[in-house]
Structure 1
Amino acid sequence: MLTGTVKFFNESKGYGFIKDDETEKEIFVHITGLVDQIAQDDKVTYEVKEGKKGENAVNVRRA
């Protein structure tokens, strides 16, 4: 599992970005990839899956 911090998440639009702790790369996250509800600045664990427009965070859980 990868770890990161929620940089931005818009609940009404259903998407946001996670900043990876190790690489500091931003990963797109869609509401369908969430296990737990998340908010800005939450520490999370996640997996990466290739999507239509690049990498997406999936199985996102609060750490």
Structure 2
Amino acid sequence: MPSGTVKFFNYDRGYGFISNDDGGADAFVHVTAVEAAGLPGLNKDERISYDLETGANGKISAINLQPAG
């Protein structure tokens, strides 16, 4: 399970990005993944573990979000 740091998240816009600790591409995160994880939102510089999923549109996004220790 990759982990990273929240670069940006705007609940009103419904999306944000997580910077991967391994230096890979940033992960897109949609508000539905945040809500599915039971999180109230994501804050800049918050540490998160996540899985990656390729959607029907071919874009990769973060799912199964968990606070990282």
Give the structure-2-normalised TM-score: 0.82
Residue number among 44, 58, 61 corresponding to 2:63 in the alignment: 58
Taking only aligned residues, the RMSD between alpha carbons, in angstroms, comes to: 1.2
Aligned partner of 2:23 in structure 1 is 23
- The answer for unaligned runs of 5 or more in structure 1 is none
Aligned-residue sequence identity (percent) comes to 38
Q: Please state how far the C-alpha of 1:38 moved relative to its aligned partner.
A: 1.3
Aligned length: 63
- The answer for unaligned runs of 5 or more in structure 2 is none
Q: Which has the higher strand share?
A: 1
8 A contact 1:20–1:26 mirrored in 2: yes
Give the structure-1-normalised TM-score: 0.88
Larger Rg: 2
